[in-house]
Amino acid sequence: MPPALFALAVGAFGIGLTEFVVAGILPQIAQDFGIEIPAAGLMATTYALGVFVGAPILTVLGARVPRKTMLIGLATLFTLGNLLTALAPSLPLALAGRILTAFNHGTFFGIGSILAASLVAKDRQASAIAFMFSGLTLANLLGVPFGTWLAQAYGWRLVFWLIAGIGLATMLSVALLVPRTEAGRAIALKAELRAFVDPQVLLAMGITVFGPAAFFTSITYIAPMMVEEAGFSGAGVAGLMVLFGLGLAVGNALGGRFADRSLFGTLFVTLAAQAVVLLVFWMGVGSGAVAAPAVFLMAAFGFATVSPIQKLVMDRASRAGAPTMAASVNIGMFNLGNAIGAWLGGATIAAGFGLASPNWAGALLSLLALGLATAAWASAGRAAPAMPAE
């Protein structure tokens, strides 16, 4: 893989850490600001909102900027947002820092995906995108557990100082490793927006929303589920989170590799397998022998869909003549899926279906994504009969 992909992976690591570490340090944030846990949870929800809103705005504003310069600028924004969060004397200012940080997220991954694909041969593009996303999976595997421990031992603010340092490392690595690019052209907004009424693009984005949302439906409630249903200790739940991070890393690597051979084939297998794993997890939730492999496999199958879906959106939007905004907005759709999954899991528990119910709810989302993938495959065949179906 080209050295530039290492710079993109460093940025992805920082983004993954700042997004997901909040779940493990909410008690420290709540205690510091003197607020309840649900209020501290705004640190996560405002970030997701910032990703969804920021991606199209910064994509349009940065269209004329060379990609290398834009990536450095986004890393600067990321660094400043985390510094503001670390220094915030009150929750509103901390939330402002989170929103500022999130504005970098979708555009960084969108531009990074296009850049990564342009640096390698066509038959390695999904693998290149997956290499960039490996930074995000490593953030879950290594960064989040370390950040949680750091917050417990030395305070939550130190975590965001550390993440700001990763932002500086991203700026430096992009400056040194990413090749110079020419200035872009202004985005033709009408043309870009046409991609969002293209049925194939919409189907691909639907897979983005519901595919990964399936495992978020379950993993969001894994702690109470395992403690109450399977008798796990706090350390046991932490062990499951390590397995979850490992599953993300393995799924990301294999998903990119297999998608280069057959993009739709990879989606069909992973989405169907994710549904099966979640249903097995629901039925065997009281057994540790079921829980451990289920957590690993649902993460692996779930995240194996991410780079193939991103490439699918880029391919379909390119045919519509508007890949730039679609690539960035699709990352926002992933975060929208996270929010939908977390909401649906909570809704099933609140409705009285039990702490294990997010598992079958996630399975339904995975099957919905599988249906959308099937429709996208059929639509692609009708739109381009001369091209071999993947």
Please report the DSSP string for 73-136 in residue order.
HHHHHHHHHHHHHHH-SSHHHHHHHHHHHHHHHHHHHHHHHHHHHHTS-GGGHHHHHHHHHHHH
Reading the block at residue 195, the tokens are 């991609």
Q: How far apart are alpha carbons 221 and 230 in whole angstroms?
A: 13
Q: Do the beta carbons of residue 125 and residue 311 sit within 8 Å?
A: yes
63-83 pLDDT, tens digit per residue, is 778 888 999 999 999 999 999
Architecture of domain 187-383: Up-down Bundle (1.20)
pLDDT interval class at 115 (50, 70, 90):
confident
pLDDT at 187 exceeding the cut of 60 = no
Annotated domain spans of the chain: 1-186, 187-383
Cα 80–Cα 145–Cα 13 angle in degrees, nearest 5? 45
225-255 pLDDT, tens digit per residue, is 888 888 887 677 778 878 888 888 888 888 8
Cβ neighbours of 268 (radius 10 Å): 15
Let me know if the fold of 1-186 is the same as that of 187-383. yes
Close Cβ partners of 382 (under 8 Å, ≥ 6 residues apart):
none
pLDDT at site 380: 72
* Residue entry with tokens 């944030």: 29
Predicted TM-score (pTM) of this structure: 0.72
pLDDT interval class at 293 (50, 70, 90):
very high
Give the DSSP per-residue string, 40-70: HTHHHHHHHHHHHHHHHHHHHHTTTS-HHHH
Give the helix/strand (H/E) hosting 33. Answer: helix 22-33
What percentage of the chain's residues is helix, strand, coil (to nearest 5)?
85, 0, 15
Q: How far apart are alpha carbons 182 and 185 in whole angstroms?
A: 9
Architecture of domain 1-186: Up-down Bundle (1.20)
